[in-house]
């Protein structure tokens, strides 16, 4: 296969036809209340135990009513996945790749605006953030993984005259549990489609706050020809679904993205059940981040200010890669602060349908309360000062102003813990303490997902990169730490940030295959003795 190109990103500038098409979908979805079933073995299932999907920027507005899975439906889904496994595991990889490419094409051409609009309304993204996630990244995952699959299948062991050796790339035995977060539609898609591409069948537990777009993904999979039971869509309580799934003998692996708290609980549960399983399950989990921007005295203040504002506040800081702590040398602080302050004063926060808003609402009330509690903590501390923002209002939507906290202590709570909201903490260091502060940056937080270093001095970049070797799985020179592109910057971090299986690369796909080595001898031996056993006539 040819290596694909990344999907073109539309800009939705005033007057363009994409903007018109997107607005039409926004209007349609906003004036409807969808009744969303579970989908098990290709059949719609309605349990009557329902929840609602609302707009984060207008939480009184209901977009959908969804049915929640109970234990009975989880067991039905497991049965459906195991039944589908028999056929799907034997389908040629070329056909699986073809379905993958068809899904990508359907999203690119037929459902782009539906998927973007549902991500905007249900997950609180502006038009551009939805385009780079729901459309482009989803498409890129599908096309690049198809390409990586063709390369993996090409990798075969060596053979000898008279002997043929080969790998049979089997899927895992059993089913895969896919658990997705609210913040990226593309991640929801990839958590399913990566194992499915390698021949697995899955039970999908989507986040309750990304259901609208995730349901449309499921409908697109069906239209593209993913057979019944290969993906089983199960909204509902994570702990209830997880309990049944993780205690099943045929549980083969988990593909997870979300918080550490959830992943740690799942891992412990799996460990307790280990004797119950047929195979050792594959555990792939990408979790939290406390991503940094580290500035050297040779950096350009304007470039740094833009990286802070975009990196920390786009999508309200709800990216695992969002910049949430920065280390700035004293000599540049006033300049960077003035530029950053000027930019922040121009940011408006509001409805996703008003395209002038750079920021929108955070995802839900729990998240709003959690973020505000960090801001209040900083306001009440003598070791920190809230220099921009600091206000929130949840009366209509969950709005929080872009907030910057200046800290005196580099280990201040907001420098260490993931807040997952529009809050940037800044520590100003003395220029001479560059190396010392790099060490503090490395040892401050349990996470190691992304980070950037700004400098015009190559030696300083290299030095920082060395000291921060294990501080980030994705490191950026002179760029913000967000915006990884599939096929260009394979994504994932270690330490507390996850198993670092690099989604968007062949490394992730390898976790979903269980290779079997097959040796064929063309003419088998007919004597059991070996030449060395014969009498030596030379002596
Ligand atoms: P979350 O942990 O609250 O939820 C993730 C998923 O787990 C949801 O579908 C939820 O319903 C499910 N869940 C909850 N309890 C469960 C249980 N006991 N058993 C099974 N499933 C359960 O995370 P979130 O708020 O949706 O996402 C935000 C988090 O995700 C942040 O910490 C962020 O850093 C992380 N994230 C990481 C990456 C990465 O690549 N490292 C990417 C995106 C998001």
pLDDT digits (tens, 9 = 90+) for 120-130: 999 999 999 99
Res 404: pLDDT: 98
Active-site residue flag, 465: no
Of 25, 73, 286, 314, which is the active-site residue? 286
User: Is 200 touching ligand 1 by the criterion CB < 6 Å?
Assistant: no
Res 536: pLDDT: 83
- 472: Cβ–Cβ under 8 A, 6 or more apart, which residues? 291, 292, 448, 449, 450, 451, 481, 493
DSSP string, 430-454: -GGGHHHHHHHHHHH-SEESEEEEE
- 93: Cβ–Cβ under 8 A, 6 or more apart, which residues? 149, 150, 153, 169, 199
Atom number of ligand 1 nearest to Cα 209: 26
pLDDT digit string (tens) for 84-97?
999 999 999 999 99
Give the residue carrying structure tokens 């690119």: 108
DSSP string, 125-173: --HHHHIIIIIIIHHHHHHHHHHHHHHHHH-----BTTEEEEEEEEE-S
Where are the domain boundaries for CATH 3.40.605.10 in the chain? 17-287+498-519
Where are the domain boundaries for CATH 3.40.309.10 in the chain? 291-477
Res 481: pLDDT: 98
pTM confidence score:
0.97
State both tokens at 490.
């394979």
What class does CATH assign to 291-477? alpha beta
pLDDT digit string (tens) for 490-531?
999 999 999 999 999 999 999 999 999 999 999 999 999 999
Asked if 373 contacts 145 with a C-beta cutoff of 8 angstroms, the reply is no
Res 214: pLDDT: 98
Ligand 1 mean position to 338 CA, how many Å? Answer: 36
Q: How many CB atoms lie within 10 A of CB 294?
A: 28
Ligand 1 mean position to 418 CA, how many Å? Answer: 13
CA-nearest residue, atom 16 of ligand 1: 238
CA-nearest residue, atom 28 of ligand 1: 258
Active-site residue flag, 320: yes
Of 7, 73, 137, 320, which is the active-site residue? 320
Report whether CATH 3.40.605.10 matches the domain 17-287+498-519. yes
CA torsion through residues 521, 523, 524, 528, sign: negative
Asked if 389 contacts 402 with a C-beta cutoff of 8 angstroms, the reply is yes
Res 374: pLDDT: 98
Res 105: pLDDT: 98
Give the residue carrying structure tokens 């509690």: 373
Strand, helix or coil for residue 370: helix
Res 539: pLDDT: 65
Res 306: pLDDT: 98
CA distance 417 to 478: 24
Residues of the chain with pLDDT under 50: none
CA distance 210 to 133: 13
User: Is 366 touching ligand 1 by the criterion CB < 6 Å?
Assistant: no
């Amino acid at each position: 296969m040819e290596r694909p190109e990344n999907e073109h990103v539309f800009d939705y500038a005033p007057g363009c036809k994409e903007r018109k098409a997107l607005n039409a979908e926004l209007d349609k979805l906003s004036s409807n209340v969808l009744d969303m079933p579970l989908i098990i073995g290709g059949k719609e299932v309605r349990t009557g135990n329902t929840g609602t999907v609302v707009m984060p920027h207008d939480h009184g507005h209901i977009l959908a009513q969804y049915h929640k899975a109970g234990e009975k439906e989880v067991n039905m889904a497991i049965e459906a996945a195991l039944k589908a496994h028999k056929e799907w595991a034997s389908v040629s990889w070329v056909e699986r790749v073809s379905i993958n490419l068809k899904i990508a094409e359907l999203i690119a051409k037929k459902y782009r605006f539906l998927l973007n609009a549902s991500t905007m309304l249900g997950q609180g993204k502006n038009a551009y953030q939805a385009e780079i996630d729901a459309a482009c990244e989803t498409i890129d995952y599908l096309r690049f993984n198809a390409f990586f699959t063709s390369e993996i299948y090409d990798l075969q062991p060596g053979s000898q005259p008279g002997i043929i050796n080969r790998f049979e790339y089997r899927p895992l035995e059993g089913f895969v549990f896919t658990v997705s977060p609210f913040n990226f539609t593309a991640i929801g898609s990839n958590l399913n489609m990566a194992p499915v591409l390698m021949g697995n069948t899955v039970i999908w537990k989507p986040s309750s706050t990304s259901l609208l777009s995730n349901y449309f993904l499921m409908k697109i999979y069906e239209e593209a020809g993913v057979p019944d039971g290969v993906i089983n869509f199960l909204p509902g309580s994570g702990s209830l679904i997880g309990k049944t799934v993780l205690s099943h003998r045929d549980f083969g692996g988990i593909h997870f993205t979300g918080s550490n708290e959830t992943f740690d609980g799942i891992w412990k549960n799996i460990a307790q059940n280990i004797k119950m399983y047929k195979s050792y399950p594959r555990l792939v989990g990408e979790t939290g981040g406390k991503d940094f921007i580290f500035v050297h005295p040779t950096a350009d203040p304007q470039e740094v200010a833009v990286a802070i504002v975009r990196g920390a506040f786009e999508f309200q800081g709800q990216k695992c890669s969002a910049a949430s702590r920065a280390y700035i040398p004293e000599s540049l602080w006033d300049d960077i602060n003035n530029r950053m302050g000027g930019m922040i004063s121009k940011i408006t926060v509001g409805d996703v349908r008003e395209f002038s808003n750079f920021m929108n609402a955070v995802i839900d009330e729990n998240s709003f309360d959690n973020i505000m509690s960090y801001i209040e903590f900083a306001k009440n501390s003598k070791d920190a000062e809230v220099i921009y923002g600091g206000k929130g209002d949840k009366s209509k939507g969950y709005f929080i102003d872009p907030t910057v906290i200046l800290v005196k202590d580099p280990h201040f709570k907001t420098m260490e813990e993931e807040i997952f909201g529009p809050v940037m903490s800044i520590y100003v260091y003395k220029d001479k303490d560059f190396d010392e502060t790099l060490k503090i940056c490395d040892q401050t937080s349990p996470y190691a997902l992304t980070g950037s270093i700004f400098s015009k001095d190559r030696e300083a970049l290299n030095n920082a990169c060395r000291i921060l070797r294990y501080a980030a799985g994705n490191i950026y020179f002179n760029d913000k730490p967000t915006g990884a592109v599939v096929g260009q910057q394979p994504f994932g971090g270690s330490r507390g940030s996850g198993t670092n299986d690099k989604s968007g690369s062949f490394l992730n796909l390898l976790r979903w295959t269980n290779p079997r080595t097959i040796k064929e001898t063309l003419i088998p031996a007919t004597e059991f003795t070996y030449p060395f056993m014969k009498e030596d006539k030379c002596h």
